[in-house]
Amino acid sequence: MSSTPRKRAEDLRSHRWLGVKDLRAFGHRSRLMQIGYGREDWQGKPVIGIVNTWSDINPCHAHFKARVEEVKRGVWQAGGFPLELPAISLSEPFVKPTTMLYRNFLAMETEELIRSHPIDGVVLMGGCDKTTPGLLMGALSMGVPAIFMPAGPMLRGNWRGVPLGSGSDSWKYWAELRAGNIDERAWEEVEEGIARSFGHCMTMGTASTMTAIAETLGFVLPGGTSIPAPDANHPRLATNTGRRIVEMVWEDLTPEKILTREAVDNAIRVHLAMGGSTNAMIHVVAMARRGGVPLTLDRFDELAREVPVLANVRPSGKYLMEDFYYAGGILGLQSRLRPLLDLDCLTVNGKSIGQNIEGSEVYNDEVIHTLENPVSKEACAILKGNLAPHGCVIKPSAAEPRLLKHRGPALAFEDYNHMAAEIDRPDLEVTKDHIIVLKNAGPVGGPGMPEWGMLPIPQKLLKEGVRDMLRLSDARMSGTSYGACILHVSPEAAIGGPLALVRTGDMIEVDVEARRLDLLVDEAELARRRADWKPKAPAPRGYEKMFAAHIAQAHEGCDFDFLAGTERLPEPEIH
Ligand code: FES
Ligand code: MG
């Protein structure tokens, strides 16, 4: 914004490292020269950190080696000095037990990378699920100007001419294989065709959800998150992002001016209209709280009653992110939501979201519906009751309607291995009216709250043609999953939440309309069970030990207690 007083070179954070005349700064400058840079490369220029979550084993970020050079090109062009800082890549398919165990690790790494180095502004390169919230949480806590460079969705999958979606279609065809409807060769072809370019999952999984949220919060150049990773617009976005961050430093456009209560509400509205991943409820709470906005799950429920699902994208809908881009992308969707959005919120390009969507249109109403003719009414519902005093979440649009008001007996499993050993037994006593319950899959129990929440339907029922039943756990589920899954039950079983007390045969009542989830067992019996309950032994040492000791529950965003809050850490001493 031209009216804002611009920073002077002496005001830059990096000036303390590079601009002063003392022995320490001599050391810093001589060491930059050791790399091959000359004074004219950095003198009087903002130093731009580029936090890059590339790694050899992250397929979603495989193009970041090239993109980071394109970001640097923009930084140089605009008169900045780019420095790439690699960070943990959190490859969703490969990191076990779950990337969620390390989201806060990335947040901490991002904050400390910026804090400990002479960085004036930062480009955050992410996209694969947890990278987006992890990077933003760290940048929010650090507080220097920050812009997010999204990986972009991969191209549509293809199998025998049928478009395939990440995650969603693996579950679907796996079920068909187990039911005997497709053969091994067909299954191999699905494997060969489902992920055919770099870029993040192209369904409305956590990646597409979180990048859309990052953009709506105001941290991405307008329209950037919808561009497919291999599209030539994507490297141009990278260069524009590099150019823009330099200006943001001079303008002192810090994250606290962007992430406001109103921006968080806008982001939740877009999340709901996208039919986004349930994972976002954890991440948005964590990000908002880092930014000083005290968000609770109730806000999601309130807004879900106002905002219908407009994006017809799998798993809740039919299309994929590539189609969404051609239909007008996020700017098209935001323009459809215009009457519901706070249009004054500031974004990284220095303009308001209202200015950014000026003139944006939707080119295909089948892919991005209108408010009058939505894909479905409600993206999510927060349920509470004696089984989830702090709440849990369901995506009603992804469930068979008969299950939204249901009373049935529990089929309870103590942990994942217990469930895996039992679930496909031919003599398992189970009907489609049972509610499958998985315990000890939460933040402490998993550990890290793995994406186990789309509990498998027993093979016996699959063969009878059952494709959905109620499933309940303290786990998360992949944003690409679907079905009547009740997730994030809080407090979790591993810390003695009521879920820990459920036994097979107990009656459970679910009423999504009334937002209730109750265990129909009397208090005296529950008290007896509670007296017998024992917590699981903590990890003997290492990161998992620290994790279990400091992790917050799902409804609080699963941040570490020592990272939460808005207090800025002091600048490091330079001696
Ligand atoms: Fe990276 Fe899905 S695996 S976004
Ligand atoms: Mg995922």
- Which residues keep their CB under 5 angstroms from ion ligand 2? 129, 205-206, 478
Predicted local distance difference test score (pLDDT) of residue 3: 58
Predicted local distance difference test score (pLDDT) of residue 316: 83
| DSSP per position, 393-454 | EE-GGGS-GGGSEEEEEEEEESSHHHHHHHTT-TT----TT-EEEE-S-STTTTTS--S--S
Residue 205 near ligand 1, beta carbon < 6 Å: yes
Q: Mean pLDDT in each 10-residue stretch from start to end of the chain (575 residues)?
A: 76 97 96 98 98 98 98 98 98 96 98 98 98 98 98 97 92 88 96 97 96 98 98 98 98 98 98 95 98 96 97 93 98 98 98 98 98 94 98 90 96 97 96 98 96 93 92 92 93 97 98 98 97 91 97 98 93 90
Predicted local distance difference test score (pLDDT) of residue 171: 86
* CA pair distance 195, 492, nearest whole angstrom: 34
* Protein residue closest via CA to atom 1 of ligand 1: 128
Six-digit token string for 217: 């919060």
Give the number of other Cβ atoms within 10 Å of residue 77's Cβ: 12
Residue 474 near ligand 1, beta carbon < 6 Å: no
- Quick one: which ligand is closest to 479's CA? 2
Q: Decide if 400 contacts 484 (C-beta within 8 A).
A: yes
Predicted local distance difference test score (pLDDT) of residue 481: 81
Q: Decide if 383 contacts 391 (C-beta within 8 A).
A: yes
Residue 60 near ligand 1, beta carbon < 6 Å: yes
Predicted local distance difference test score (pLDDT) of residue 369: 98
In the reported structure, the alpha carbon of residue 560 is separated from the centroid of ligand 1 by a whole-number distance in angstroms of 24
* CA pair distance 123, 238, nearest whole angstrom: 10
Residue 207 near ligand 1, beta carbon < 6 Å: yes
In the reported structure, the alpha carbon of residue 206 is separated from the centroid of ligand 2 by a whole-number distance in angstroms of 5
Residue 128 near ligand 1, beta carbon < 6 Å: yes
* Protein residue closest via CA to atom 2 of ligand 1: 201
* CA pair distance 561, 305, nearest whole angstrom: 31
Six-digit token string for 457: 């339907």
Residue 151 near ligand 1, beta carbon < 6 Å: no
Residue 552 near ligand 1, beta carbon < 6 Å: no
Q: Decide if 448 contacts 137 (C-beta within 8 A).
A: no
Q: Which of 128, 155, 279, 451 to mutate to test the pocket of ligand 1 (most atoms within 8 A of CB)?
A: 128
Predicted local distance difference test score (pLDDT) of residue 4: 60
Question: Could you identify the atom of ligand 1 that is nearest to the CA of residue 478?
Answer: 2
Predicted local distance difference test score (pLDDT) of residue 1: 46
* CA pair distance 113, 51, nearest whole angstrom: 8
Q: What does the buried/exposed string (b/e) look like for 248-263 if buried means 16 or more CB atoms within 10 Å of the residue's CB?
A: bbbbbbbbeebbbbbb
Residue 98 near ligand 1, beta carbon < 6 Å: no
In the reported structure, the alpha carbon of residue 227 is separated from the centroid of ligand 2 by a whole-number distance in angstroms of 19
Amino acid at 57: I
Q: Decide if 369 contacts 533 (C-beta within 8 A).
A: no
Return the ∠ at Cα 149 (arms to 324 and 332), rounded to 5°.
25
* Protein residue closest via CA to atom 3 of ligand 1: 92
Question: Could you identify the atom of ligand 1 that is nearest to the CA of residue 151?
Answer: 4
In the reported structure, the alpha carbon of residue 10 is separated from the centroid of ligand 1 by a whole-number distance in angstroms of 42
In the reported structure, the alpha carbon of residue 202 is separated from the centroid of ligand 2 by a whole-number distance in angstroms of 10
